Amino acid sequence: MKKRAFFFIILAGVLWGTSGIFVHYLAPYGVTSLQMTMVRGLVSFLCLAIFALVRDRSLFRVRWVDLAYFIGMGVFLFGTASCYFISMQMTSVSTAVVLMYTAPLYVMLFSVLFLGERLSRLKLVAVALMLIGCCLVSGVIGGLRFDAAGIAIGAASGLGFAAYNILTKLAMQRGARAASATLYSFLSVAVVGIAFSTPWELAASAARAPAVTLPLLIGLGVVTCTLPYIFYTLAMKELPAGTASALGIVEPMAATLFSVMLFSEPMNWSSGAGVALILLSVFLLSRAEGKADRL
């Protein structure tokens, strides 16, 4: 079961890493970052809602206490993406990526303090290697732009993602169903997004080239949100919250590889070294989990 959970986490990271592809082609049509966040939540909610109506309507039935967790998860998801995009505009893409992926540090700290998880030296080393690898992959080393407000907002994105992890873990420990948690979390993202992302302007932007924008918007929701968060939530049932969040950092590695293959962006020595460090950290976390299982 743990092997399957590791596979789900890595697959989720790869799918998240495709976000740049959709952003690359949607931005020229005037679709803003907040609108993309809203679309991801709305499309994902509709996909799961249709599945629930056809296959298992019991997914709509949840306890009121669990619903509070799910709403909180959705709010933190929207906040994470919003802070990430704002930080990207105020500093740089590379800076925002690294600040968002400080989440494993927050999660491990919270997990030790509130969830009773054991913090081993091996996990600390693995997370350190992940952060260094992320810096190398994203190009932060040698290219960091300092903007106090932008850095603070970027750090908030990492804290928001950490909070999402903690709430997800708590909901799973209470016996909540992963599909129900994901369904209502996406609904919360969509509702918050509609309130803050000027959807009427999105409609006007999409109407300029519907044959291009509509498939991209749907793909943005399904490929970069619905599928990876389902895989991620399922994995949270088997893995400690800190390990799950840390493994999710394969996203920047995947994003870098996609940019090299699809957009012919060069990969220098630092990017290659970063990819190697992230892969090594994934291996070390797997070893750490294996040791914990044998204890």
Q: Is the pLDDT of residue 96 over 80?
A: no
Q: If we measure between CA atoms, which residue out of 126, 64, 71, 106 comes closest to residue 288?
A: 126
Q: Is the pLDDT of residue 33 over 70?
A: yes
Q: How confident is the model at residue 115 (pLDDT cuts 50, 70, 90)?
A: low
**Residue pointed to by tokens 């303090």:** 113
Mean pLDDT of 235-255: 69
pLDDT at 295: 46
288, 243 in Cβ contact below 8 A?
yes
pLDDT at 284: 74
Q: Is the pLDDT of residue 294 over 60?
A: no
Which token pair is 265? 């962006």
Q: How confident is the model at residue 191 (pLDDT cuts 50, 70, 90)?
A: very high
Q: If we measure between CA atoms, which residue out of 83, 91, 8, 12 comes closest to residue 251?
A: 12
Q: How confident is the model at residue 39 (pLDDT cuts 50, 70, 90)?
A: very high
48, 183 in Cβ contact below 8 A?
yes
pLDDT at 144: 46
Which residues in 153-171 are b (16+ Cβ under 10 Å) and which e? bbbbbbbbbbbbbbbbbbb
How far is it, in rounded angstroms, from Cα 228 to Cα 184?
16
C-alpha distances out from residue 181 to 46, 82, 160, 167, Å: 14, 21, 17, 10
How far is it, in rounded angstroms, from Cα 85 to Cα 209?
24
Domain boundaries, the chain: 2-290
**What's the full length of the chain, in residues?**
295
Higher per-residue pLDDT: 171 or 239: 171
How far is it, in rounded angstroms, from Cα 135 to Cα 142?
10
How far is it, in rounded angstroms, from Cα 250 to Cα 290?
20
Max Cα-Cα span within the chain: 60
Phi, psi of 267 (to 5 degrees): -110, 115
In the chain, the percentage of residues whose pLDDT exceeds 70 is 79
Most confident of 37-41, 128-132, 285-289: 37-41
Q: How confident is the model at residue 257 (pLDDT cuts 50, 70, 90)?
A: confident
Q: Is the pLDDT of residue 10 over 70?
A: yes
Mean pLDDT of 122-134: 78
pLDDT at 293: 46
- How many Å is the Cα radius of gyration of the chain? 18
Mean pLDDT of 258-270: 71
How far is it, in rounded angstroms, from Cα 103 to Cα 154?
11
Mean pLDDT of 80-105: 73
Q: How confident is the model at residue 266 (pLDDT cuts 50, 70, 90)?
A: low
188, 73 in Cβ contact below 8 A?
yes
| Alpha helix segments (H runs only) across 56-197 | 64-90, 93-100, 103-114, 121-138, 148-173, 178-196
Local structure of 177: helix, strand or coil: coil
Work out whether the CA dihedral 106, 109, 115, 118 comes out positive or negative: positive
- Neighbour tally for 289: CB within 10 Å: 22
How far is it, in rounded angstroms, from Cα 238 to Cα 235?
5
Q: How confident is the model at residue 231 (pLDDT cuts 50, 70, 90)?
A: confident
- Neighbour tally for 23: CB within 10 Å: 17
Mean per-residue pLDDT over the chain, rounded: 79
Contacts of 172 (CB under 8 A, 6+ apart): 178, 181, 233, 236, 237
Among the listed ranges 71-80, 167-176, 248-257, which one has the minimum average pLDDT value? Answer: 248-257
Most confident of 50-59, 132-141, 164-173, 228-237: 50-59
